Amino acid sequence: MATNTLSTENKFTWGGGKSPFSVSYGKLMMWIFLLSDAFTFSSLLIAYGFIRYSFQSPIHNEIVKPLAHVADNFVEQMQQAGLFLQDHWPSPELVFNHFPFVHGVHLPLFFVSLMTFILIFSSVTMVLAVEAGHRMAKDEVAKYMLLTIIGGAAFLGCQAWEWTTFIGEGARLYENPYGPRSFAALFFIVTGFHGMHVFSGVVLNVIIYLNVLNNTYEKRGHYEMVEKVGLYWHFVDLVWVFVFTFYYLI
Amino acid sequence: MEHTEHLEHTETPKDMKSQIWKTFWILFAFTIVDIILYFVLLSNHSMMKNWVFIILGIVKAYYIVGIFMHMKFERKSLMYMIVIPMVFVIFLVALMIIEGDFTGLLRWIK
């Protein structure tokens, strides 16, 4: 029988012969990587909080109600109505009001909520794959890994659509029709950095999925690799929870 | 066939599957609450409103890290190693939001 990699780890990795945290070396390093990655994201969100509060709060919108009709020149109308000003942070409900295939209707935050649910759901399928891995149920692991990949790809598609809409309305890294310039710059940097993480997560998931199909982990005797990539995937979901909170709600 | 030694695993609850789905519904509900609160508190711009959303975010983070990332069932030492640095980050968030307010005042004075 193939030697268990974990048993060799016991001999050489730890000076005391045993992990002080009762987790394998790879998993511990994944946790430490995630902590450092959390610092990177925190620095972006802290910068966001700082810049957001160095501008005045959004002006309360009493003109556009949910489900109201939205004209093609909505952004210009809002600028004229005094809701998009240079020294006031724009109100997220007036900026994030688009939905694919639904044109000309004010749907505040609907699309971003959908994106949040997609990511939470793909996190659930990932944790179900990890759980199936504990039982060495190869087919179930493969099934849930595939669902996770689909969820991740759907999220990336949503983000691409959202970016396209904003760029179409004139938002750039250096200019912003909704108000202060830093709003659009921060939007593209924060969601772009998160989207890059989702993309690399999907790539890792595809690699793991192919390995599962090739019986790599069946031969190795454990599905720990699924757990490690799962940790990364949940972290991406966790970051989205905070991007959602800071960018769309506050 | 020798049975190779496996790293001792901290215990996973037997009903993991039902716990996963329970966590999913909790996260789902909190996200809905978030969105409803956003519209309820739309005209409110106090610091309290931010703390409501940040605390809801931390509650969701507790469920994701605790159940999905298995942290609740790991050794306490591992948990403290990861969680304690993040407490300081939250402290920094609070500091920078307050600092941003003052920077805004400076811009207004000019």
Q: Dump pLDDT digits (tens) for A29-86.
A: 999 999 999 999 999 999 998 998 898 888 888 888 888 888 888 888 888 888 888 8
Q: Tell me, what's the pLDDT at B4?
A: 41
Instruction: State the average pLDDT over residues A165-179.
Output: 91
DSSP string of A106-134, one letter each residue:
--TTHHHHHHHHHHHHHHHHHHHHHHHHH
Please check whether residues B40 and B28 belong to one and the same domain: yes
Is the pLDDT higher at A4 or at A172?
A172
Instruction: State the average pLDDT over residues B62-72.
Output: 92
A65 touches chain B (CB under 8 A): no
Best to test chain A binding among B35, B43, B74, B107 (most A CBs inside 10 Å): B35
Query: How far from chain centre, in Å, is Cα A140?
Result: 25
Q: Do A123 and B64 touch (CB under 8 A)?
A: yes
| pLDDT at position A124 over 80 | yes
| Inside any domain, residue A2 | no
Residue B107: which domain range? Answer: 76-110
Please check whether residues B26 and B68 belong to one and the same domain: yes
What is the rounded CA–CA span in Å between residue A6 and residue A22?
12
The owner of tokens 């699924």 is: A226
What is the rounded CA–CA span in Å between residue A159 and residue A244?
13
| Inside any domain, residue B93 | yes
| Inside any domain, residue B10 | no
Q: CB-based burial of residue A242 (10 Å sphere; 0-12 exposed, 13-18 middle, 19+ buried)? A: buried
Alpha helices in chain A (DSSP H): 5-12, 25-53, 74-80, 92-95, 110-134, 138-168, 181-213, 216-220, 224-243
> Which residues in chain A (191-250) have CB-CB distances under 8 A to chain B?
221-222, 227, 230-231, 234-235, 237-238, 241-242, 244-245, 248-250
Best to test chain B binding among A5, A9, A21, A229 (most B CBs inside 10 Å): A21
- Compute the nearest-CA separation of B5 from chain A (Å): 6
Q: How confident is the model at residue B90 (pLDDT cuts 50, 70, 90)?
A: confident
Q: How confident is the model at residue B51 (pLDDT cuts 50, 70, 90)?
A: confident
Q: A147: which residues sit within 8 A by CB, 6+ positions away?
A: A122, A125
Query: How far from chain centre, in Å, is Cα A129?
Result: 19
Q: The tokens of B46 are what?
A: 């106090």
Please check whether residues B26 and B58 belong to one and the same domain: yes
Q: Tell me, what's the pLDDT at A11?
A: 55
| Inside any domain, residue A9 | no
The dihedrals phi and psi of A88, each to the nearest 5 degrees, come to -115, 135
Chain B residue with minimal CA distance to A249? Answer: B38
Number of structural domains chain A divides into: 1
Q: The tokens of B78 are what?
A: 């591992």
Closest in B4, B64, B104 to A4, CB measured: B4
Chain A residue with minimal CA distance to B58? Answer: A242
Q: Do B12 and A134 touch (CB under 8 A)?
A: yes
> Which residues in chain A (112-141) have CB-CB distances under 8 A to chain B?
113, 116-117, 120-121, 123-124, 126-128, 130-131, 134
Of the candidates B12, B10, B6, which has an alpha carbon nearest to the alpha carbon of residue A221? B6
Is the pLDDT higher at B1 or at A51?
A51
DSSP A105: B
Q: A–B: how many Cβ contacts below 8 A?
A: 166
Q: Residue A180, by phi and psi: left (phi above 0), alpha (psi -120 to 50) or beta?
A: beta
Q: Which residues of B are less than 8 Å from A116 in CB distance?
A: 31
| Inside any domain, residue A60 | yes
CA-based angle A155:A192:A42, to the nearest 5?
105
Please check whether residues B40 and B56 belong to one and the same domain: yes
| Three-state secondary structure call for residue A6 | helix
Please check whether residues B63 and B81 belong to one and the same domain: no
Please check whether residues B29 and B67 belong to one and the same domain: yes
Q: Which of A95-99, A145-149, B39-43 shows the highest mean pLDDT?
A: A145-149
Please check whether residues B27 and B55 belong to one and the same domain: yes
Q: How confident is the model at residue B5 (pLDDT cuts 50, 70, 90)?
A: very low
Please check whether residues B64 and B45 belong to one and the same domain: yes
Number of structural domains chain B divides into: 2
| pLDDT at position A13 over 80 | no
Q: Do B74 and A21 touch (CB under 8 A)?
A: yes
Dihedral angle at the C-alpha atoms of A228, A230, A232, A234, nearest 10 degrees? Answer: -150
| pLDDT at position A87 over 90 | no
| Inside any domain, residue B48 | yes
| Inside any domain, residue B29 | yes
Q: Tell me, what's the pLDDT at A79?
A: 86
- Compute the nearest-CA separation of A171 from chain B (Å): 23
Q: Which of A64-73, A237-246, B45-54, B89-98 shows the highest mean pLDDT?
A: A237-246
What is the rounded CA–CA span in Å between residue A140 and residue B14?
18
Q: Do B34 and A249 touch (CB under 8 A)?
A: yes
Q: Do B6 and A56 touch (CB under 8 A)?
A: no
What is the rounded CA–CA span in Å between residue A205 and residue A174?
35
Please check whether residues B22 and B68 belong to one and the same domain: yes
| Inside any domain, residue A17 | no
| Inside any domain, residue A178 | yes
What is the rounded CA–CA span in Å between residue A201 and residue A101?
28
Please check whether residues B21 and B66 belong to one and the same domain: yes
Alpha helices in B1-110 (DSSP H): 16-40, 47-63, 76-109
- Compute the nearest-CA separation of B66 from chain A (Å): 11
A56 touches chain B (CB under 8 A): yes
Please check whether residues B45 and B90 belong to one and the same domain: no
The CATH number given to whatever domain includes residue A146 is 1.20.120.80
Q: Tell me, what's the pLDDT at A16?
A: 77
Residue A213: which domain range? Answer: 26-249
Q: The tokens of B53 are what?
A: 């959303």
**pLDDT tens readout for residues A187-245:** 999 999 999 999 999 999 999 999 999 999 999 999 999 999 999 999 999 999 999 99
Q: How confident is the model at residue A165 (pLDDT cuts 50, 70, 90)?
A: very high
| Inside any domain, residue A3 | no
Q: Tell me, what's the pLDDT at A32?
A: 95
Please check whether residues B24 and B63 belong to one and the same domain: yes
Produce one character per residue of A55-74: b if its CB has 16 or more CB atoms within 10 Å, e if not: bbbbbebeebeeeeebeeeb
